[in-house]
Amino acid sequence: MERYKCPVCSHIYDPAEGDPKSEIAPGTAFEDLPEDWKCPVCRTKKAKFQPELSAAV
């Protein structure tokens, strides 16, 4: 599952971890988050998050 990054505070939503502060269970894909979900750090809306780009190796 893909990780997503907040463009404001750089928080990473990692599906493997979920979002305990918002009672989002580990294993929840970003696409399955509620539409009104917000960044647990800075409260930026879900729609603003961008897929995290993997570093080329």
The span from the CA of 10 to the CA of 29, in Å, is: 18
- Specify the residue for token string 């696409």: 31
Domain ranges, residue 26: 1-57
Domain count, the chain: 1
**pLDDT reported for residue 1:** 87
CATH number at residue 33: 2.20.28.10
pLDDT in tens, 36-50: 999 999 999 999 999
* H or E segment to which residue 4 belongs: strand 4-5
pTM: 0.88
